[in-house]
Amino acid sequence: MHRPDSLSLTTLVSALLGIILALFSTQAALAGKAHLYGSNAWTNNAGALLSGPGSPYHQVGSVEGEIRVLVDRCTGRWCQIRAGRQAGWFPLDSLNFGLRPGSPWSGPRLNYPSGGPGMVCFYSGANFSGASFCSPPGTYVRDLALLNRDNQVRSVEVIGNTSAIICRDFKMTNGCTRIIESKGRLPEGFGGAVSSYRVY
């Protein structure tokens, strides 16, 4: 009569061991693969990767200049990045969130509309719908969270001789794009993700 109990215990132990082995093999497989999340950026120059956000922390690796990296998060003037199998903290000023390496202000000078007359209007819904607010040339909003409008913009209307730069993080960081004509839907990665902007 006790035989079914011993079979149940054996089955239970076998199942638990199977689950534990599956978890360890899944973790090992994931550890060997690069993470697929994070913001793309470029290193402007070679430098040390540190164990924490600041120069007092010890070096855990290094990166070359003008290579693509993934940024997990930023705090103050430092960002936690991954380059290949290396990870660590790197100065924010040494990163560029543009489409290619180099300063975000480098490259050709394009004749974008600026100076007005006109304004740029921001909408919470696609195709110029929902709550809206407008700004004239010269407006710089470093943090839309301070206006209770962070991550709400989904379309932008350009009126007159104006344009704007919108960015995914406060103080014009973490990926920016120039808006030179009205957009009923913002470019990929920007819809519902705008945290700062400047109107020209």
The predicted-structure confidence for 155-181, as pLDDT tens digits, reads as follows: 999 999 999 999 988 888 878 888 999
Residue 36: count of CB within 10 angstroms of its CB:
6
**What pLDDT is recorded for position 104?**
54
Please check whether residue 130 is in contact with residue 123, taking contact to mean a CB–CB distance below 8 angstroms. Answer: yes
Name, in order, each residue with C-beta under 8 angstroms of 116's C-beta and a sequence gap of 6 or more. 136, 137, 160, 161, 162
Q: What are the angstrom distances between the C-alpha of 183 and each of 70, 124, 125, 153, 164? A: 28, 12, 11, 11, 12
pLDDT tens, position by position, for the chain (200 residues)? 455 555 577 776 676 776 766 655 544 444 444 445 567 788 888 999 999 999 999 999 999 988 888 888 888 789 999 998 999 999 988 888 766 665 555 555 566 788 889 999 999 999 999 999 999 999 999 999 999 999 999 999 999 999 999 998 888 887 888 899 999 999 888 999 999 999 99
Give the tokens for residue 39: 């913001």
Assign domain 39-96 to its CATH superfamily.
SH3 Domains (2.30.30.40)
What fold, for 118-199?
Gamma-B Crystallin; domain 1 (2.60.20)
pTM, rounded to two decimals: 0.50
Look at residues 21, 76, 86, 23 and name the one whose alpha carbon lies nearest to residue 51. Answer: 86
**What pLDDT is recorded for position 42?**
84
**What pLDDT is recorded for position 70?**
87
Domain residue extents for the chain = 39-96, 118-199
SS3 of residue 17 by DSSP: helix
**What pLDDT is recorded for position 10?**
73
Give the tokens for residue 140: 């710089």
Give the tokens for residue 132: 């809206």
**What pLDDT is recorded for position 100?**
63
**What pLDDT is recorded for position 92?**
87
Reported as a single tens digit per residue, the pLDDT across 4-30 is 555 577 776 676 776 766 655 544 444
